[in-house]
Structure 1
Amino acid sequence: MRVEVEIRVGDHPDVAASLVTPRSRALTAVLQHWPEYLIEALGLGLFMLSACLFVTLLEHPNSPVRQTVTDPFVRRIPMGLAMGLTAVGLIYSPWGQRSGAHLNPSVTLTFWRLGKVTPWDAFFYVTAQFVGAIVGVGVGAAVLDAWLAHPTVSYAATVPGLGGAGVAFVAEFLISFFLMIVVLTVSNRPGLNQFTGLCAGALVASYIVFEAPLSGMSMNAARTVGSAIYAQVWTALWIYFTAPLLGMLAAAQLYVATQGLQRVLCAKLHHDNPQRCIFRCSYGARAH
């Protein structure tokens, strides 16, 4: 005897979930969220192009600025301002408002750990960030040619300072920890969240001025790899893959322990805008 059983998938969420394969989840993520992935690549690419331009301007020995300003500390001040303003511009731009302006694998992975980013979105964000950094430095190399390749510029590569790898690791951990603490604290307070981008930009600027001699001031594995590929400088690469991520995860753990996970509202650095939000967002109607 043959028995036929009809199963309505809608009545059985567990069955429906079993029919969704990892490949289909990945395809759905790409089809629905590819603009955000592209924005992350373009955003970090522009950041790296800006870094290449300003490092060349300030550090190449034939640059009039380098010849005029001989003190490296003084030269780091305009460098910090330039990159801080670049970060602020990207965060508050329509693109940054759309993607959340992570521009950093450690930021994305920390928000994934906090439950605000799905695994596939995290994967494609991080992939896009690495691609964007590599392409951004590549564009800089095409425009600046030998100027960017000069040893004093070295494609804006990040390497440990005179204190060595240990000091660089601690420095990268601490600056990443403090950046994430500030981002979580400011972005999750309705009266302050519009200032998150300004706070992040100010920290980037100050880190370049004061911390760069210790580690090169990366906080960003994609940013370091983007320069290293062209410079062929792989010194202590492990630091830039581990210290920023560990620092930001530690900051997230401290924030959750003191404020509670429910106080993490979204993964966007600047949420108060009309752009769609692809994250597991607690801000309400604009969350998709």
Structure 2
Amino acid sequence: MSFVSQLRSAFRRHWRHYLAEALGIAFFVTCAGLLTTLLEHPASPVRQALQTNDTVRHWLMGLAMGLVIVLIVYSPWGKQSGAHINPAVTVAFWQLGKIKTPDAVWYVLGQVAGAIGAAQLLKLVLGQLYAHPTVNFTVTQPVPLPRGEALAFAAEFIISFVLMLVLLVALHSKRLKELTGWLIGILLALYIVFETPYSGMSLNPARSLGSAVAADSYRGMWLYWAAPILAMWLATVLFRRLYHGEDLPCAILAGCGPTASSPHSPGEEPPQYPDEGKE
């Protein structure tokens, strides 16, 4: 069977999972855009009330977006697809053999489409509010310094590596696997508060691309793809060494172990995690 045929076959069987990925990242991008506008635009009453308190605004943004990722992970659509909503996460799970190549391709395409679509919708609805320099389409760009790109690359690499390693260790643990979404939410909140000044805090190539397309500004875009993907891939290598090649149960951020309300109940086929013998 040709690869194109495999893509078609995978799409027919798993299109709901790809749609779930697109919806998940679209929701994330939409929340990021709305919250940034609410907290940073000069016309916002919240911004005016917290005019001189940058720290409070940063913590509000971090906590809110942390809760957003928790909501996505444990939502029906998050459990449907595994809640990757990030090409770097999908590539890492693909490298671990938890998702087959056709599914991984569709996942990444869905993530990119969802991020671009959500950013374009925000641009259409919010207009100049979204374009204002304090919001700036929520673009992630290196700081304007002589070695700004190197600093941003290093920052993105470190936060991506730590996040993926925490994710893998938690999913491997019987005690922590059901808390994986909360752990990721906490890390995301801390990253937004403390790491944003160094790279804009992306972690997510698709999210950065969606904002860049809306702003028509692609400065440093290469690093927002290269650093997270490379870092998360290396995290999988370290994970295998730490656990001496033990297999990871699944690529579902909410944890495995289907419940009565889970889309992965008996009879409901998830994407290839992995599913051998079917093409």
> So what's the TM-score if we normalise by structure 1?
0.88
The residue identity in structure 1 corresponding to 2:73 is I
Work out which of the residue numbers 185, 198, 206 in structure 1 matches 2:182. Answer: 198
Q: Give the Cα–Cα distance (whole angstroms) in 1 for the partners of residues 108 and 20 of structure 2.
A: 12
The residue identity in structure 2 corresponding to 1:203 is L
Q: Percent identity?
A: 44
Does residue 272 (structure 1) correspond to residue 272 (structure 2)? The answer is no
Work out which of the residue numbers 45, 49, 54 in structure 1 matches 2:30. Answer: 49
Does residue 175 (structure 1) correspond to residue 159 (structure 2)? The answer is yes
Q: Give the Cα–Cα distance (whole angstroms) in 2 for the partners of residues 231 and 116 of structure 1.
A: 35
Q: Give the Cα–Cα distance (whole angstroms) in 2 for the partners of residues 172 and 123 of structure 1.
A: 23
Work out which of the residue numbers 4, 7, 12 in structure 2 matches 1:31. Answer: 12
2:97–2:274 contact (8 Å) kept in structure 1: no
Mapping for residues 99-114 of structure 1, pairs under 5 Å: 99-114=81-96
2:100–2:274 contact (8 Å) kept in structure 1: no
Q: CA RMSD in A?
A: 1.4
Does residue 133 (structure 1) correspond to residue 126 (structure 2)? The answer is no
Q: Give the Cα–Cα distance (whole angstroms) in 1 for the partners of residues 201 and 73 of structure 2.
A: 19
Does residue 98 (structure 1) correspond to residue 52 (structure 2)? The answer is no
The equivalent residue for 1:11 is none
1:147–1:153 contact (8 Å) kept in structure 2: yes
Mapping for residues 1-288 of structure 1, pairs under 5 Å: 20-69=1-50, 70-161=52-143, 164-270=148-254, 271-273=256-258, 274-276=262-264, 277-281=270-274
> So what's the TM-score if we normalise by structure 2?
0.91
Q: Secondary structure at the match of 1:269?
A: coil
Q: 64-73 vs 200-209, which deviates more? A: 64-73
* Structure whose alpha-carbon radius of gyration is higher: 1
Q: Secondary structure at the match of 1:272?
A: coil
Q: Secondary structure at the match of 2:246?
A: helix
Q: 58-67 vs 75-84, which deviates more? A: 58-67
Unpaired runs of 5+ residues, structure 1, are 1-19, 283-288
Q: Give the Cα–Cα distance (whole angstroms) in 2 for the partners of residues 195 and 239 of structure 1.
A: 30
> What is the CA distance between 1:266 and its match in structure 2?
1.1
Q: Which structure carries more relative contact order (alpha carbon 8 Å, separation 6+)?
A: 2
Q: Give the Cα–Cα distance (whole angstroms) in 2 for the partners of residues 72 and 159 of structure 1.
A: 20
> What is the CA distance between 1:192 and its match in structure 2?
1.4
1:22-59 Cα deviation digits (max 9, x unpaired): 22211110000000000000110010000010000111
Unpaired runs of 5+ residues, structure 2, are 265-269
Q: Give the Cα–Cα distance (whole angstroms) in 2 for the partners of residues 263 and 71 of structure 1.
A: 47
> What is the CA distance between 1:158 and its match in structure 2?
0.7
Q: Give the Cα–Cα distance (whole angstroms) in 1 for the partners of residues 55 and 149 of structure 2.
A: 21
Q: Give the Cα–Cα distance (whole angstroms) in 1 for the partners of residues 199 and 73 of structure 2.
A: 24
2:131–2:215 contact (8 Å) kept in structure 1: yes
Q: 96-105 vs 23-32, which deviates more? A: 23-32
1:158–1:216 contact (8 Å) kept in structure 2: yes
1:85-131 Cα deviation digits (max 9, x unpaired): 11000000011011000000000001111111101100000000000
Q: Give the Cα–Cα distance (whole angstroms) in 2 for the partners of residues 272 and 167 of structure 1.
A: 40
> What is the CA distance between 1:181 and its match in structure 2?
0.5
1:193–1:272 contact (8 Å) kept in structure 2: no
